[in-house]
Amino acid sequence: MIVDKLQAVRDRITTACVACGRDPAGVRLLAVSKTFGAEAVLAAVAGGQRAFGENYIQEGVDKILAVRAALESESDGLRPPGSRDASASEWHCIGPVQSNKTRLVAEHFDWVQSVDRLKIAQRLSEQRPSHLPPLQVCLQVNIDGGATKAGVAPQQAQALAVAVAGLPRLQLRGLMSIPEPAPDFVAACAVHQRARDLFDQINQAGVLPRPMDTLSMGMTADLEAAIHAGSTMVRVGTAIFGGR
Ligand SMILES: *Cc1c(COP(=O)(O)O)cnc(C)c1O
């Protein structure tokens, strides 16, 4: 059952926080629902989950519309007609964003964590509808340096952060990383620590209008190591929804 698996992941997060002396309230859980349908998302919502991550933009948009419609009809009669409980679900784009998909992201998602180029950020800012709050943004950092991987190089991350923080319809929230699987806990901690150090370094440089508050790292296999290194948001798919 999705509700039980969600609870098991929350327990893992709590145990990991206790083990390194952190407050579990400082780690958010993003449920990665890619490839699973709206019913799976609604089951997780029923279990108290609010934030969902999607990799494929068109699939994500279809799901967002289906889930929001279902949640609105469910709560009909509890609220004044026409009002919308925007807080019922929150959607994060965590997959590659090509130029021809920026409008869909800007119009439907609440967050995008996979920004790695200024040109994409500029389009998202221009296309974010004025009736919506600013799009919440994390920069994807290629922390372990794979040449073919997405993500801004660590040495260029600060300059990109400054540029993105200056765009009017975006709010820069932090960094996101997807390192290669590590052989063991110590190795996983070491690679996540590099992202943590970069995050601290950019915040401490005093170049941003306000400090970043989100360090998005850790998945099903390595969330404990990521929390140990300071993750504030783990992105978990398999442990909640099952294998893909
Ligand atoms: C699929 C995915 C996840 C979730 O991975 P699991 O191993 O299933 O927990 C997290 N982040 C990103 C960017 C993903 O693409």
Residue 220 Cα: closest atom of ligand 1: 9
pLDDT of residue 46: 95
Query: What is the pLDDT, as a whole number, of residue 188?
Result: 97
Mutation probe of ligand 1 site: the residue of 141, 219, 241, 244 with most atoms within 8 A of C-beta: 219
What are the chain's domains?
2-241 (3.20.20.10)
Q: Does the global pTM surpass 0.85?
A: yes
- Residue 208 structure tokens: 């941003």
**CB atoms closer than 10 angstroms to residue 191:** 20
pLDDT tens-place values along the chain, 244 residues long: 999 999 999 999 999 999 999 999 999 999 999 999 999 999 999 999 999 999 999 999 999 999 999 998 887 666 655 455 556 899 999 999 999 999 999 999 999 999 999 999 999 999 999 999 999 999 999 999 877 789 999 999 999 999 999 999 999 999 999 999 999 999 999 999 999 999 999 999 999 999 999 999 999 999 999 999 999 999 999 999 999 9
Residue to substitute in 30, 32, 244 for testing ligand 1 pocket (most ligand atoms within 8 angstroms of CB): 32
Check residue 191 and give left, alpha or beta (phi > 0: left; psi -120 to 50: alpha). alpha
Sequence length of the chain is 244
Burial call 78-115: b when 16+ CB within 10 Å, e when fewer: eeeeeeeeeeebbbbbbbebeeebbbbbbebbbbbbbb
Helix (H) / strand (E) element for 62: namely: helix 57-74
Other Cβ atoms less than 10 A from the Cβ of 199: the count is 26
Tell me the best of 6, 57, 93, 94 to mutate to test the pocket of ligand 1, counting ligand atoms within 8 Å of each CB and taking the most.
94
Residues at CB less than 6 angstroms from ligand 1 = 32, 34, 55, 94, 178, 219-221, 235-238
